[in-house]
Structure 1
Amino acid sequence: RPYGLVVTADSSFTISAGIDGGQPWRRCYGENITYTDWQRNNFWAAVVSVTGKQAVIGYEADYLTLAQQDRLHTCLEPSNLADLAPASMRQRMLKSEAEIALIRAGAEIADIGGYAIRAAIKDQARELDIAMAGRDAMELAIAERFP
């Protein structure tokens, strides 16, 4: 199911599928529109409810399938399109010291989980028990590092 973020001059709206149990709605910054897939193109109807037709639309071309691009043109009738993918990717590459520290901490915690999994692998061990060993080790490491 498609998801989107519509950014206007004064607000932002995530567009999310209702099947996700409200997760995007509870976790997003700004507004959220939850759509159902009971009718074809409800995602695009939700987008149009925010943008209107014949607006300038920025999108990331590397994430838009040809089928969705056709729907974008049909449903939104944009006055202009701008591929924001190159600028978005450059922006994603810039990290603050805090982001770098968090990424490093996450990698270290993942290593702890990996080592616990390796230690739990034994003849006749259940996959569930092996997975739980990794999860338990990571949960403990997260609790210690981020109390």
Structure 2
Amino acid sequence: MTHHHLQVGDTAPEFSLNNQDNQAVNPMALAGKRILLSFHPLAWTSICEIQMRTLEVKHTVFKELEVMAYGISVDSLKSKQAWADAMGIKETNLLADFWPHGGVARQYGLFLDDTGVSNRANVLIAPDHTVEWIKIYDIHEVPDIEAIIAFVNQKKQ
């Protein structure tokens, strides 16, 4: 059973999760910035790795666009720490949506009950905390980050 995911125009649920450095992160507390939540099913899998590395590679671009990008999966903190180290990810917050299991993914309607992980999805949240762009990808598809960058560039003009 999949839940009804958030639509453009919906208010994005506020949450706080710990990142790979075990610091509590509340993305919605950042005033005036866009937030990109990049949900992925599991750490240590190849497509998820590309998805997270892409966030890291585009960190400077996001910074210029005033977008804060976060990777989110249901993995535990320890797994996230080891994975971030293995990938050399320094700038991007990888958030552990581990307990309650997939709690944030559920709030966003992206949790997959049959497999216990989240969908692969990107959710872009405007500074007023409404969802302005959302896309769910096939589990074997690498999300197109350029599409999001183009969208934000357009918005900022």
Q: TM-score range by the shorter chain?
A: under 0.3
- Rg: which structure is higher? 1
TM-score normalised to the size of structure 2? 0.27
**Structure with larger RCO (C-alpha < 8 A, sep 6+):** 2
**TM-score of the superposed pair, with normalisation by structure 1:** 0.28
* Structure that is richer in helix per residue: 1
